[in-house]
A and B are shown apart, each in its own frame.
Chain A
């Protein structure tokens, strides 16, 4: 640097700022000497300084520019977001208003229809949409349109929910079509028809719903839109009761169905009509609850097509907004859907998805407070599909519904459909009633007989632990406990209340709580004493083992209790095929392949008290039973087809009943059973027949072909009204005792080596049926 450069150079080169200004800050350390410091300044230095500063400023400026640009971009983004949220909020508010308005409208209409007076619902003006700043032009139009729009939106959302639940589009379309057809039929009449045309569609079991429909089809269709009619039609029933309930649900949808059910149920005299209408509360409640799901469907008859197209558009939009409004229901529904899905996995009754789905929706809606009466017709739209299901049902009675339902009190099962209507209102505690009841109270009678089937049995428990076929089973007299006897030489004790949830199938798996080991061969039969404290089993080894039944609540892996085995009753020389306990005398009867029937004292293990048929006059006994109407008698069936009635006290043969089967071809009897109250003996035969004999005359009263293969076992329900038969054709059939007609058939168990079902039994006090299969499974139905 040329420090010799004079001021001239300095001035020439100095273009930015004055040296003084620049120098001041540049010389911070120079406190004292101003001029001495000045002497250090030189033009190049100053120049450099200035240039440096300038560059720095430039850099800063550039940075600031960048920052500003970023911040501006962020601002723009946030603004956009905010706008979006505002729009969203506007939409929500708008929808809420629309729906509320629509609801009010329909309520008032219905109320007017019903009572002829105006309902004071407060503000009935169409909601104004001005609160949203950007008054959305779409929402300005007239209320019907807006409500229609809202309906459409709501409908799409609900359609989506329905699909989640399991309703398919086809079902909804069919339903909407049917409703339209229904409306078309009944729309012009304008009076309250009694059950009319719609009735035949529903198999006569839900006239109430149809009455509603008739009622609803008022001429109050000033709005030409079929849509509104449909909406009314569906909503009216709901609205009727909601109005009467003092409009407890201004946003009725949002309350849980339970509340509605409670309110509805409390009305006992609301329905003007007969007891059929007493179904209405439940019906209406279901309608109301469910229709809010499905009704938007029906609201638009013609826009049905449109809705389908729009569904995609709407669904996404509706995804977010609606859940808030539907929060309560949705949570409930989702939870129940999950439960339903879990239970539905692998169930057998998949052949009837419609009914199951409907039932599921019912279950969803009804949750704890389950109501009896109608099962399929959850909504009027679904009613038309009910006849479809009914016919389907009738045609396939053997399909077993694998829906699981919580076990209910015994009372609920006893009610027939006639009683259900009264009882549902009379009973305060209806919590015990489940959907199963609703399903079952509909008499699905194969022969369309007039008797009411008490219930339809569904498989509930699968008892899986034996290694080989189960030959016999016996229920405990009071507890939900049973004992199974198997060819794997063991007996197992099961407690039905200790179940392990099985992931795959709908039926619950049960594990045994105790295994009885003492037999040296297959165990063929088992029976329990009348108190359930003891059980007796007979096996191929010719012994009858007597056991003390362990407590049903023990741990399966407790220590060994030698006291469980009481002892063996010895005497038979060949397999013991049947044991029967007599509570009257504390005696045990057994029949064996050695040709004898022996009577034992059940209290100890002393040798037999009496031996019958010692010489084998009648053949080899196959089964034995006590005659219930005559305490001293017992009946034995033989392999020759003979049946002998013995007096146990005199040890004499009283009567030989008619031979079974054709006179020329007596057939083997697999099981003989005595009717609980009447002097009738029933036999299950190898020739597929079941025959009934009179004990007094010995004549065959009735004979019927019962199965496709040999009938292996019989059981009578404790009331003596139903007969159950199991057969090697893998089916179990329930028969009405009086009419001798088959009420229900279900397939259970797989065939193994030509054998399928070995034994069936009723629980003496609870509502269980058990079946013992050759596939090493025992199944319990409720």
Chain B
């Protein structure tokens, strides 16, 4: 995978080193800002995002989000999200929804069937990116509405939700109606939720 032009980094991480490795998501963000636009970027973006979300949220949520406390995956009160990782959509507790969605996204994005290459995206698979993003966004929204402190703390560290939102908007991977987490910056998104209750 070849990253942006200015990113020729000697990425060797030998045992014993103490330097931190440059973070992909930051590079991606920079790339988006530079308006570098390609399907490769999109794919990488989705991958990176899901990866980042995987790491950060699962880690944090594991402390707080229990099947007992969050028995369903919801954001606002309107909709319950069903987990699509099963044969028939199942109402998983929030933590399970998160895990399954991230695992499912990992499988999908890595599968040869849907995404055989990292530099081009099959026409048929473009839709899948959208649904992956939509589900990942739900993780954000659940965290925002139910685990506010953790969300804030994390967001201040990494701005992951911001970056994800901008990424998704830039490439039109999701409809704006779905973006319900209020972003406090100049770019405002409609706050009314139209979260879909789909499989």
Contact = CB atoms under 8 A, between A and B. Distances in A.
5 contacts: A488-B51, A515-B106, A577-B15, A753-B9, A754-B12
A578 interface: yes
A488 B55 contact: yes
Chain B, interface size: which category?
35 or more
B184 interface: no
A668 interface: yes
B93 to A, nearest CB: 7
Contacts of A639: 14-16
Contact of B59 (A487, A520, A574): A520
Interface stretch (A448-456, A601-609, A615-623): A615-623
B21 A522 contact: yes
B10 A754 contact: yes
B35 interface: no
A559 B59 CA distance: 16
B155 interface: no
Interface string A577-607: 1100000000000010100000000000000
A489 interface: yes
Interface in A618-641: 620-623, 638-639
B103 A557 contact: yes
B190 interface: no
A559 B90 CA distance: 11
Interface in B51-104: 51, 54-56, 58-59, 62, 66-67, 83, 85-86, 92-93, 95-96, 99-100, 102-104
A557 B86 contact: yes
Contacts of B10: 753-754
B15 A560 contact: no
A515 B103 contact: yes
Contact of A593 (B18, B56, B99, B109): B18
Interface of B: 1, 9-18, 20-21, 24, 47-48, 50-51, 54-56, 58-59, 62, 66-67, 83, 85-86, 92-93, 95-96, 99-100, 102-104, 106-107, 109-113, 116
A468 interface: yes
B16 A621 contact: yes
A465 B99 CA distance: 14
Contact of B54 (A490, A575, A591, A593): A490
Contact of B16 (A565, A622, A755): A622
A489 B15 contact: no
Given A490-B55, A559-B96, A593-B16, 16 more contacts: A467-B51, A467-B109, A489-B51, A502-B112, A515-B103, A517-B62, A524-B15, A540-B20, A557-B86, A560-B93, A593-B18, A623-B15, A686-B14, A753-B9, A753-B10, A755-B12
Given A488-B51, A557-B85, A752-B1, A518 B11 contact: no
A518 B62 contact: yes
Contacts of B58: 517
Nearest to B90: A557
A89 to B, nearest CB: 50
Given A517-B62, A559-B96, A577-B16, A511 B107 contact: yes
A524 B66 CA distance: 28
Given A504-B112, A517-B62, A559 B67 contact: yes
Contacts of A518: 59, 62
B71 to A, nearest CB: 11
